[in-house]
């Protein structure tokens, strides 16, 4: 059998779909598609139009060599997007290869896309008022800059003087895989006649040979008040912007409040602020002024995180917590067109369905499930007539693709996706090299456990497959959707069965299931993993003698814990993993969060490094040097602890260390992703299958 799962290069060339935007009249559905470039090293994202009725084939809208993203429609049906591709109307010397992302517009009536707004630091997070058409966006701006001209001057000064230093006044100073600063996000809003006049050639500010939307700074120099990756929204009439806002706390911590900013005056007032909660993802109602947001209870050593939805009126400040007592965690909020309900997704028993939530309902009975037990949904968008709900749907066995769901609930209808037009696969998705099933078990405390099991073709009593235990990152997560980074079908194509379990701390099983592992990472999460592994290897089509354990991030932590507490596995692969909790908690990108969640007892009882002497299983350590969430010091210390206990007199060790100098928490480069898989499979083949060690040629 051949196909993309048997060929790592072919796999990385599969199109990847993300995001949805629907035109105001409901006739145009736009998504983003990422494709590998011709050299196979990087990718480019383009915008595609999908027929909401499912009749016409998808068609490509943009072809910029540097890609396009963040599609959003205006009330007039024009398509806005961001891109750093060259501007044909730019004057000589502007818009070079290092040009930041600008705001582009593809007119509804046809014609070429054109730049309608620029900033020296680029633009992002574009939203449009549904009725007024006011544009709100973010732009990284140097702290002391008074306007765009001053920002450009200061950037030129840093470039000319080869200055790279950043002076910080608060935490954090890094985020996931990049340093923060020296610029900080600011909120900008369109003024004057706005976008329609600019497109008609009757308004805007002169710049680079074309009229531009005038952008006014709404937040100014506010230090670290706007989060590093903030979200915001605009009320339908364009009068009020609602955004996240950091509130400083002792011990270098902060909480996230929700504030309203008057677009006309810039006056800011607090809407939602509570020391026990963070507020994120505000979404304005299609009419009126109400705004919904996600509220996260902040975790402590004795209090698990919880999530609910709050609706607030920016004009009065009145707020309501919706579906109080609902034992699921809502995400992907969208308002129904009549403003009477919200559409959302939430992890649920190894799936992530779409739910409808009454906008005035305070109890759990206000929630209605709309989709069957068939996958994971995201990017929910309702049709303006209220008849359909559009979303991206994936499963563990199929990549994200656009579907439409009856608004009253029912089975999703596949739409003709860009992947079909590109000839990548038909509506059923790429042919899998095996089958997907479920495994269940009962934990030591009586809790029900479940996992997905990807079985390779041909596995059976006469040919049981070697098993790979794959442990997710998180720690609050669930295996319920397609993964490009940890794809079990690449292993299945090579004859392995892959177990994808949801142990204690997993989402979608209720708060009590999360609490079982709170502050006890090495207890119930570990014993749950061993219990569900026992259930998997008890199957006749799985080989109990040939097994390995793998994990990344928190999954890497668990892989390290597994290595120090059992020798049942022939190999362990640990990626971007936590090793010494006392060291990690002070060097990660947001130490205050971990200081709040990790008690001294939790660190003392759950740090894998304290069990290094017990490790006898060969371990493959993988880490990115630019990882700021789990700094590379974790891998360096783990690597030394392994070598110092295992190196033979001839200098040999069973362990390996794959370091990516230019990768962060995730391995995003296509070439590096292929090398990641090739090295992992070579290591597994050696220790699980007994084959000779053969390093990938790319390693030299």
pLDDT on residue 192: 63
β-pairing, 434-442 vs 497-501, is unpaired
Half-sphere exposure of 448 (CA within 13 A, CB side): 9
Is there a domain that residue 648 lies in? yes
Confidence of residue 398 (pLDDT cuts 50, 70, 90): very high
Token pair in block for residue 383: 């049709």
pLDDT on residue 93: 53
The pLDDT of residue 429 is above 80: no
Q: How much is the average pLDDT of 243-267? A: 93
The pLDDT of residue 700 is above 90: no
Domain end among 420, 443, 459: 420
Would you say the C-alpha torsion 377, 381, 382, 388 has a positive or negative sign?
A: negative
459 lies in the same domain as 414: no
DSSP 365: G
pLDDT higher at 196 or 74: 74
pLDDT on residue 72: 97
Q: Cα-Cα-Cα-Cα dihedral of 440, 442, 443, 445, to 10°?
A: 150
For 343-364, what is each residue's pLDDT tens digit?
A: 999 999 999 999 999 998 666 6
146 lies in the same domain as 174: yes
For 76-135, what is each residue's pLDDT tens digit?
A: 999 999 999 988 776 555 555 678 999 999 999 888 899 999 999 999 999 999 999 999
Write down the residue that tokens 């990938």 correspond to: 696
Q: Distance (Å, rounded) from C-alpha 173 to C-alpha 181?
A: 8
Could you tell me the CATH number of the domain that includes residue 484? 3.40.50.1820
486 lies in the same domain as 599: yes
Q: How much is the average pLDDT of 234-260? A: 94
Q: Please name which of 88, 141, 82 lies closest in space to residue 111, comparing C-alpha atoms.
A: 88
413 lies in the same domain as 527: no
Q: How much is the average pLDDT of 413-422? A: 93
The pLDDT of residue 581 is above 90: yes
The pLDDT of residue 205 is above 50: no
Is there a domain that residue 59 lies in? yes
456 lies in the same domain as 413: no
Is there a domain that residue 39 lies in? yes
Domain count, the chain: 2
Q: Please name which of 628, 581, 593, 588 lies closest in space to residue 251, comparing C-alpha atoms.
A: 593
386 CB-near residues (< 8 Å, 6+ apart)? 336, 337, 338, 407
Q: Cα-Cα-Cα-Cα dihedral of 422, 428, 431, 437, to 10°?
A: 150
Q: Distance (Å, rounded) from C-alpha 506 to C-alpha 451?
A: 11
CA 149 to chain CA centroid, Å, is 34
Count of CB atoms within 10 A of residue 72's CB?
18
545 lies in the same domain as 414: no
Is there a domain that residue 354 lies in? no
539 lies in the same domain as 590: yes
Half-sphere exposure of 456 (CA within 13 A, CB side): 23
Q: Distance (Å, rounded) from C-alpha 184 to C-alpha 163?
A: 17
The pLDDT of residue 211 is above 80: no
Could you tell me the CATH number of the domain that includes residue 106? 2.120.10.30
Which range of residues forms the domain containing residue 469? 434-699
Q: How much is the average pLDDT of 411-429? A: 88
Is there a domain that residue 591 lies in? yes
Q: How much is the average pLDDT of 637-660? A: 92
Q: How much is the average pLDDT of 55-69? A: 94
DSSP 98: T
677 lies in the same domain as 624: yes
pLDDT on residue 383: 98
φ, ψ dihedrals at 295, nearest 5°: -115, 125
Q: What's the first-to-final CA gap in the chain, in angstroms?
A: 29
Q: How much is the average pLDDT of 53-65? A: 94
For 6-21, what is each residue's pLDDT tens digit?
A: 999 999 999 999 999 9
Is there a domain that residue 678 lies in? yes
Q: Distance (Å, rounded) from C-alpha 120 to C-alpha 100?
A: 7
Is there a domain that residue 159 lies in? yes
pLDDT on residue 200: 64
- Going from the C-alpha of 224 to that of each of 32, 146, 251, 592, 594, the distances in angstroms are 31, 17, 16, 15, 20
Q: Please name which of 674, 651, 673, 655 lies closest in space to residue 664, comparing C-alpha atoms.
A: 673
Is there a domain that residue 428 lies in? no
Question: 310 in helix, strand or coil?
Answer: strand
- 55-59, 243-247, 357-361, 579-583: the lowest-pLDDT one: 357-361
**Total count of residues recorded for the chain:** 700
Q: Please name which of 561, 547, 457, 453 lies closest in space to residue 505, comparing C-alpha atoms.
A: 561
DSSP 237: T
Domain end among 387, 420, 453: 420
Q: E-strand spans in 386-464?
A: 388-395, 398-406, 413-414, 434-442, 448-456
| Whole-number average pLDDT of the chain | 92
Domain end among 420, 445, 466: 420
519 lies in the same domain as 627: yes
Q: What's the CA angle centered on 634, arms 628 and 638, to 5 degrees? A: 155
Token pair in block for residue 449: 């456990």
User: Percentage of residues in the chain with pLDDT exceeding 70?
Assistant: 95
496 lies in the same domain as 411: no
142 lies in the same domain as 266: yes
Q: How much is the average pLDDT of 587-601? A: 91
Q: Please name which of 181, 252, 168, 248 lies closest in space to residue 586, comparing C-alpha atoms.
A: 252
91 lies in the same domain as 114: yes
């Amino acid at each position: 059998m051949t196909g993309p799962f048997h060929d790592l290069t072919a796999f990385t060339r599969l199109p990847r779909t993300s995001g949805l935007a629907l035109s105001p009249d409901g006739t145009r559905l736009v998504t983003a598609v990422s494709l590998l470039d011709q050299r196979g090293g990087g990718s480019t994202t383009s915008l595609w139009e999908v027929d909401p009725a499912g009749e016409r084939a998808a068609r490509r809208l943009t072809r910029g060599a540097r890609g396009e993203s963040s599609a959003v429609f205006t009330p007039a049906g024009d398509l806005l997007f961001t891109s750093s591709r060259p501007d044909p109307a730019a004057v000589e010397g502007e818009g070079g290869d290092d040009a930041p992302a600008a705001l582009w517009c593809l007119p509804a009536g046809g014609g070429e896309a054109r730049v309608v707004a620029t900033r020296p630091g680029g633009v992002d997070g574009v939203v449009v008022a549904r009725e007024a058409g006011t544009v709100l966006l973010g732009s990284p701006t140097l702290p002391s800059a008074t306007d765009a001209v001053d920002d450009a001057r200061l950037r030129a000064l840093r470039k000319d003087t080869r200055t790279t230093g950043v002076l910080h006044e608060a935490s954090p100073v890094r985020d996931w895989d990049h340093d923060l600063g020296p610029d900080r996000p600011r909120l900008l809003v369109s003024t004057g006649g706005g976008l329609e006049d600019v497109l008609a050639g009757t308004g805007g500010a002169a710049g680079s040979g074309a009229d531009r939307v005038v952008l006014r700074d709404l937040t100014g120099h506010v230090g670290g008040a706007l989060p590093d990756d903030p979200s915001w929204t605009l009320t339908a009439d364009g009068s009020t912007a609602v955004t996240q806002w950091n509130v400083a706390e002792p011990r270098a911590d902060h909480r996230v409040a929700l504030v309203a900013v008057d677009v006309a005056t810039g006056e800011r007032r607090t809407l939602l602020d509570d020391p026990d909660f963070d507020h994120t993802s505000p979404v304005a109602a299609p009419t009126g002024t109400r705004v919904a947001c996600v509220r996260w209870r902040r975790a402590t050593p004795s209090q698990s995180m919880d999530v609910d939805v709050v609706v607030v009126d920016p004009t009065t400040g009145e707020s309501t917590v919706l579906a109080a007592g609902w034992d699921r965690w809502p995400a992907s909020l969208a308002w129904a067109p009549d403003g009477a309900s919200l559409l959302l997704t939430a992890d649920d028993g190894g799936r992530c369905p779409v739910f409808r939530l009454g906008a005035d309902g305070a109890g759990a009975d206000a929630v209605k499930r709309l989709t069957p037990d068939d996958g994971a949904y995201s990017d929910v968008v309702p049709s303006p007539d209220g008849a359909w709900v559009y979303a991206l749907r994936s499963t563990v066995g199929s990549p994200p693709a656009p579907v439409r769901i009856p608004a009253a609930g029912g089975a999703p209808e596949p739409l003709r996706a860009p992947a079909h037009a590109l000839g990548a696969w038909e509506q059923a998705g790429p042919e899998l090299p095996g089958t997907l099933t479920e495994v269940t078990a009962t934990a030591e405390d009586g809790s029900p456990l479940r996992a997905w099991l990807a079985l390779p073709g041909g596995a059976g009593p006469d040919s049981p497959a070697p098993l790979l235990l794959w442990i997710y990152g998180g720690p609050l997560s669930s295996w319920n959707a397609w993964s490009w980074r940890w794809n079990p079908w690449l292993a299945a194509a090579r004859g392995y069965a892959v177990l994808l379990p949801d142990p204690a701390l997993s989402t979608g099983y209720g708060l009590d299931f999360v609490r079982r592992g709170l502050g006890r990472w090495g207890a119930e999460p570990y014993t749950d993993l061993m219990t569900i592994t026992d259930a998997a290897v008890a199957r006749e089509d799985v080989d109990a003698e040939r097994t390995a354990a793998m994990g990344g991030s928190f999954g890497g932590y668990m892989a390290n814990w597994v290595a120090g507490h059992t020798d049942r596995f022939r190999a362990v692969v640990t990626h971007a993993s936590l090793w010494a909790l006392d060291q990690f908690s002070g060097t990660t990108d947001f130490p205050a969060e971990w200081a709040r969640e990790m008690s001294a007892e939790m660190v003392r009882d759950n740090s894998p490094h304290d069990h290094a002497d017990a490790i006898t299983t060969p371990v493959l350590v993988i880490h990115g040097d630019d990882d700021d969430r789990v700094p590379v010091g974790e891998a360096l210390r783990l690597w030394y602890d392994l070598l110092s206990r295992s190196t033979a007199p001839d200098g040999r060790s069973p362990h390996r260390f794959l370091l990516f100098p230019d990768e962060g928490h995730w391995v995003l480069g296509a070439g590096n992703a292929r090398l990641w898989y090739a090295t992992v499979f070579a290591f597994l083949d050696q220790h699980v299958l007994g084959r000779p060690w053969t390093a990938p040629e790319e390693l030299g």
